[in-house]
Structure 1
């Protein structure tokens, strides 16, 4: 948790207190409290300055330690973004990080929040049809073994769910440092009737694209290690 000394000063949480295994089985029956319908989600509790008209429009799926989520909050100050993370300690870190940022920077970061949930199972429980404008899948678990490919966050069945919560023209951003996973993602999304891949020119013109490379902690690690990045952005049609 964020430590508050007697002076009432505040500091950002430290990752070493929130360490957890890098991998989680998304098929397992974790203990989650989740709404039966999007009407039951108390967004006001997560976004203290939310107006009645505002809806969450951006979803960072598997947000990790929240680096890219924070960047989204800084780039799009008038729009709401949510990070979804399945690992309990990691989601705790992001929640505490946002709390600390709000205290350290009054009036800022009220447009981002984090929920611990399993996006592979419960996404339609949180979002209405065509609610989202952007979805991000940055450095997802590659699940290298063939027997575990069914655990990958991109597959035909899940792409239909993503299309349900995405509005027409909405974008799906994918990035990985694993060539085989990139090939898998592109193949499955190309085969789906409701997505078309952006051209390189369209990708480069998107102001979000440069932030995808190292705003997240995983992306920054790839940059430090001089690894490769594989980017693909798709439009909901």
Structure 2
């Protein structure tokens, strides 16, 4: 059997060293990103051996939100393709009463976010910060309705998604005619889908598909300026910071979920 990749060896050695620390010290130690890096592209149509609930009611969230086990509180905010979780950590203090979930397909990246959440909770035990955020490994393109009830969410974030530049790869984009319908299903009326990218073609693609869906209305520039989540989205994500450093352009568009039209009599 060939030896494991060097990257995996380094990660295993890092975890072994962490386990040698005192349990309390280890629990409060933030994970190092360099040991969890993974290629940016993950094929959402591949079989990733995922586990997912048959229905939202069959999902056990007790390990994700231990402070809310005995409550009927539901997740309200979803960060789809959360990456290394920058948006979750930025939003958590701003929306302390909302449960938020990051959904990430890449194994190592999802593990990093989970470990960082654990450490941040320990470091902020007295203030109770970061108890309202969690991350799970999931393929939202396939299983979004398995995790959320109809009209459950108030906010969905699609931050710097994979642009899939080649035309034959466009079917893998996180926004499509089918997926806008699924976002409308899990988003309650008045809820908002937030999108941001540094790729103009992808920005126009997402706008086109959401504007083609009769259940969404594009927010005006005035509404964008008054929404604090828009600014957090621009500056809180890892990709957003990288675009800022490189002097790139951030394209933002947000869409409000409208009320369902009346059934024809």
* Aligned counterparts of 1:203 and 1:235: Cα–Cα separation in 2: 11
Q: Given the alignment of the two structures, is residue 236 of structure 1 paired with residue 260 of structure 2, yes or no?
A: no
TM-score of the pair, normalised by structure 1: 0.97
Structure 2 counterpart of 1:202: 223
Matched position secondary structure for 1:123: helix
- Which 4+ runs in 1 deviate beyond 4 A? none
Q: CA deviation at 1:22?
A: 0.7
What does 1:121-160 correspond to in 2, within 5 Å?
Answer: 121-160=142-181
Matched position secondary structure for 1:108: coil
Give the RMSD, CA atoms, in angstroms: 1.2
Indicate which of 36, 42, 51 corresponds to 1:33: 51
Structure 1 counterpart of 2:193: 172
Structure 2 counterpart of 1:56: 75
Indicate which of 173, 176, 188 corresponds to 2:209: 188
Deviations 1:99-149 (A, max 9, x none): 000111102211000000100000000100000000000000000000000
* Aligned counterparts of 2:189 and 2:49: Cα–Cα separation in 1: 33
User: How many pairs were matched up?
Assistant: 237
After superposing the two structures, state which structure 1 stretch, 46-55 or 34-43, moved more.
46-55
What does 1:55-94 correspond to in 2, within 5 Å?
Answer: 55-94=74-113
Indicate which of 120, 144, 150 corresponds to 1:101: 120
Specify every segment of 5 or more residues in structure 1 that has no aligned partner in the other structure, as ranges: none
* Aligned counterparts of 1:206 and 1:3: Cα–Cα separation in 2: 40
Q: CA deviation at 1:78?
A: 1.2
Structure 2 counterpart of 1:6: 22
TM-score of the pair, normalised by structure 2: 0.87
- Which one has the largest radius of gyration? 2
Q: CA deviation at 1:7?
A: 7.8
Deviations 1:10-54 (A, max 9, x none): 321001110111110011121101110011111122101114221
* Aligned counterparts of 2:23 and 2:221: Cα–Cα separation in 1: 52
* Aligned counterparts of 2:62 and 2:94: Cα–Cα separation in 1: 21
Q: CA deviation at 1:6?
A: 3.3
Checking the alignment, whether the CA contact within 8 Å between 1:3 and 1:13 is kept in structure 2 is: no
Specify every segment of 5 or more residues in structure 2 that has no aligned partner in the other structure, as ranges: 1-14, 259-265
